[in-house]
Chain A
Amino acid sequence: MKPTDITNPEYFHKVVDCQYACPAHTPVPEYIRLIAAERYTDAYMVNWESNVFPGILGRTCDRPCEPACRRGRVEDEPVAICRLKRVAADNKGEVKSLMPTAPKKKNGFKIALIGGGPASLTVARDLAPLGYEIHLYDEWDKAGGMMRTQIPSFRLPESVLDEEVNYVLDMGIHTHFNTYVSSMKKILEKDYDAIFVGTGAPKGRDLPDVEGRPEADKFVHLGIEWLASVAFGHRTTTSKKVIVLGGGNTAMDCCRTARRLGGEKVTVVVRSPFNDMKASPWEIEDAQREDIPILNNMPPKAFVVEGGKLKGMLFGKVAALYDENGKRSLVPTGEPDIFIEADEVLIAIGQDNSFPWIERDLGIKFGKWDLPVVDRTTFQSTLDRVFFGGDAAFGPENVITAVAHGHQAAISIDLFCRGESVYNRPAPMTNLISQKMGIHEWSYDSAVVEDLRYTVPHAEKQVALKDRKVEVELGFNTSVGFKEAQRCLNCDIQTIFNTSRCIECDACMDVCPTSCITFTANGTEDDLRKRLKAPANNTSQDLYVSGNLNTGRVMIKDEDVCLHCGLCAERCPTAAWDMQKYLYQVSKASPIWSISDL
């Protein structure tokens, strides 16, 4: 293998598994260390710079970082990254004065944002400090988009949402609420220099072909619409017996909301196996904890209506069979159909994009599934001044993905307005600094604690079920937060190897607790992976290869389960190893916020 090029910013970025997995590439270990240092405000700001909604995401994020967390590869559970983010948000001090403000003197460009969700708000956050005049349109009377309409208050208190939305709106954003944009043509006719579409995936899927659906219409609701009507207080009660169809997070939100609006017997029915449910495991757990049974392998067959009233639903029974390619088919088992009583049914089986308001003769091309044709890097549509982001761009994802889109779209819009190529993307900001302070002394806490993941306390069920606004998860207090923060392995503190200094004494190889380091003859990657000190079977993790050493051997480090404990550097007599902190920040349209001593 060739020596690893550690000057490539992506090499060490990939070692920080959580940050690499985060669509917005939030510097996770950085803010976790700040939490451990009780610097909650700084921890919040590191988050805010990267993901705009730390308080919201600290409660509702899909957490792609957690399955990626290295800790999950050396013990049972990853670090509770999402919950730690909330610790920062809950305990921060005054932050507004740290945030950039919009200059009084504008730069002369006007931008329209259609839809007031996370993608649009991120674009606004990035462009407003540069002097752009920003107009935000939303059909509701408040901004927040799906974070407001689809995430129930017991998971995300309105006060938290309002606070973080307002940090953006207070940057002098011109809001046009209660304004449903019904024509892109009309928007284009106005004097906007660029238009960003962040309208999400607003159309809930229905089951039009299931028997009895038209007759049952009065008693059947689409999940996301029903959640929105609850969020805005238009709907305050529900029937006693409710069936929720679907296995995603919306279904979980629907069933739990129904329990709070008077639903006594709420049942979730999914057509596929339990293990294939799309909902996050913790959402499923929370629903089950609220006495909501989840029945699986039962596709809906009919809505049973008698005398103009919904009686219930009929379900078939299937089994999931997987062919050799892992493709699933649901095959009826031949068991008798099952009837479940219900007064109301909520359909939460997915949602789609919908652009009835964009005329098709404007030069904005649409492709498969009626999705706009959007460049994956620049988020530009086929009409150069129209950009898309969030769920509107490529279909339903999640909040953190929408934020990541927003940052990139803002860069494109800024480049576009300044007449530069939108492909002229700025490189990430990176920094690599030695953490050595003395013998056995590093400026990070290198000791690896063995604590298991701490659980988050919940509000008492009886209390929580009475009021949909009572938050269920209570978050870590600061002392548990500290302990959980200490579980972080500091994967951003990189092991840097200097080939010319190495005297091949083997000390690093001998001391490494997880057998990551091997000195051996070079070979192909497949060959090396087999003959390292411990097998390197996780091919998603790179091998760090040194140049040729004096004996002709090379140093190979398998990044997979490195604990970043620094013992290799401790035991190195010539400082051929050093622990250096790698800070990787995605460039934004506006300057990156940073604290001086990071």
Chain B
Amino acid sequence: MTYIKPKFRHPELPKNDLGYVKSDYEGAISTLCAGCGHDSISAAIVQSCFELSIEPHRLAKLSGIGCSSKTPTYFLSNSHGFNSVHGRMPSIATGANMANRDLIYLGVSGDGDSASIGMGQFVHAIRKNVNMVYIVMNNGCYGLTKGQNSATTDLGGFSKAGGLNHYPAIDLVSLAIEMGATFVGRSFSGDKNQLVPMIKAAIAHQGFALLDVVSPCVTFNNKAESTKSYDYVRAHLEATSTIDYVPEKEEITVSYEAGMSALVEMHDGSVIQLHKLAPNWDPRDRFSAVRRLQKAQANGEVLTGLLYIDPESKDMHELEQTVDVPLNSLREAELCPGSSVLERVNAEFR
């Protein structure tokens, strides 16, 4: 009996700008069910961080409770990590981000963690525009506790044990757009060609970036009629656009016919190039995004791609006018500026 990932790697693996190979971004071997969509998302995160040449120590991965929240163990072993109480990851991320704005914050959550127990936390992190990537591995069931219906289970759907779901599903992307999220996308664990550039763009976004990733639960919710199954998603996949993420120093090489392409310049100088698959739609226009989403929902389509982005996004640090550097780099001189400064501050209140 064995379940050990060998240490040998392909001898000709490509290296990124830091000289790392992709395996330098891997984690421990997954203990999730074989074929779990979450593992594909983990692999897409590994791929994205490798391609972006992120120094592993510059990233913090945070999660709550659930199958999704186990995954940080399975990627980026050399990065920081925090596994919080159920549904409380957004608070931890907010606090960490306040303390050290220099790290990249990657939150991983699930439909239970975000749409049920952590809903309050989730919407407030959106509202505050915390600068983080928030990935929801959305499988439409409580996989870790044997597949009960969750808040994103289809209305009228059945759990594997036979329980009928009487309640409408919460659509996290619509909710996020409603709450003023500045970057909202949806993708599918089985489509890395789309998912990887979306993760990269989400990392580049300055502010809260939600990626709702449909991730089939092979054990409890991969029935053909479930909107979260491999078969259903593949049959009803409707993408808003194909997306290329172009880092700052690279040239844009793909060109599309006029009117079908949109370039979105990101805060860090990189560019997202969208190839729109439907005209009359603009990812920078919140109304058109909502309309498009509702239309897809009515047609039973799984609309994927970048749904909405606000390139002018102001994150919480900007709104709060916080200090420019991580708190741990502040020394005594800055923290205790002396009695004359105290006098001046006190004087303001007189």
Contacts and interface: CB of A to CB of B under 8 A. Distances in A.
A143 interface: no
Interface stretch (A320-328, A570-578, A582-590): A570-578
Interface string A449-463: 010000000000000
Contacts of B8: 74-75, 448, 450, 513-514, 561, 563
Nearest to A573: B35
Interface in B215-244: 216, 218-219, 222, 230-231, 234
Interface stretch (B38-46, B172-180, B247-255): B38-46
Contact of B12 (A534, A567, A573): A534
A505 B41 CA distance: 11
Interface string B15-33: 0000000110000011001
A441 interface: yes
A292 B312 CA distance: 78
B29 A561 contact: no
A513 B6 contact: yes
B40 A507 contact: yes
Given A510-B40, A511-B29, A573-B218, A505 B35 contact: yes
A442 B2 CA distance: 8
B1 A440 contact: yes
Interface in A486-518: 503-507, 509-511, 513-516
A505 B9 contact: no
Contacts of B6: 447-448, 450, 513-514, 563, 565
A74 B11 contact: yes
B10 A446 contact: no
B315 to A, nearest CB: 32
B2 A507 contact: no
Contacts of B40: 505-507, 510
Contacts of A511: 5, 29-30, 39
A514 B9 contact: yes
Interface string A428-446: 0000000000001110011
Contacts of A441: 1
Contact of A513 (B9, B30, B219): B9
Contact of B10 (A447, A448, A561, A567): A561
Contacts of A570: 3, 34
Contacts of A446: 2
A504 B12 CA distance: 25
A515 B12 CA distance: 10
B12 A537 contact: yes
A5 to B, nearest CB: 26
Nearest to A448: B6
Contacts of B43: 506, 509-510
Contacts of A567: 5, 29
A544 to B, nearest CB: 16
Contacts of B14: 534-535
Contacts of B34: 507, 570-573
Nearest to B192: A506
Interface residues of A, number: 37
A535 B30 CA distance: 25
Interface residues of B, number: 37
A507 B8 CA distance: 19
A574 B35 contact: yes
A2 interface: no
A550 B237 CA distance: 14
B190 interface: yes
Given A537-B12, A563-B6, A507 B39 contact: yes
A561 B11 contact: yes
A97 interface: no
Contacts of A185: none
Nearest to A564: B6
B328 to A, nearest CB: 35
B331 interface: no
A513 B43 CA distance: 12
A551 interface: yes
Contacts of A447: 2, 4, 6
A460 to B, nearest CB: 36
A75 B7 CA distance: 11
A571 B35 contact: yes
A579 to B, nearest CB: 12
A510 B234 CA distance: 19
Contacts of B36: 505, 507, 573
A440 B39 contact: no
A571 to B, nearest CB: 5
B279 to A, nearest CB: 26
Contacts of B3: 440, 570
B7 A505 contact: no
Contacts of B347: none
B305 interface: no
B13 interface: yes
B37 interface: yes
A73 B10 CA distance: 9
Nearest to B230: A503
Nearest to A73: B11
A571 B39 contact: yes
B11 A510 contact: no
Nearest to A503: B230
B35 A445 contact: no
Nearest to B2: A447
Nearest to B23: A513
Contacts of A516: 10
A74 B216 CA distance: 34
A535 B12 contact: yes
Nearest to A506: B40
A550 B7 CA distance: 33
Given A450-B7, A511-B29, A551-B234, A503 B2 contact: no
Nearest to B229: A503
A571 B40 CA distance: 11
B91 to A, nearest CB: 31
Contacts of A442: 1-2
Contacts of A572: 34-35
A29 to B, nearest CB: 16
A540 B190 CA distance: 32
A505 B11 contact: no
Contacts of B231: 503
- The 4 A-B residue pairs with the shortest CB-CB distance, nearest first, are A573-B35, A448-B6, A510-B43, A447-B2
Given A75-B8, A504-B190, A505-B190, 17 more contacts: A440-B1, A448-B8, A450-B8, A503-B35, A503-B230, A505-B189, A506-B39, A506-B40, A507-B36, A509-B43, A513-B23, A561-B10, A563-B8, A570-B3, A571-B35, A573-B33, A574-B35
7 contacts: A74-B11, A442-B1, A447-B6, A504-B234, A505-B218, A506-B40, A573-B219
Interface of B: 1-14, 22-23, 29-30, 33-37, 39-40, 42-43, 189-190, 192, 216, 218-219, 222, 230-231, 234
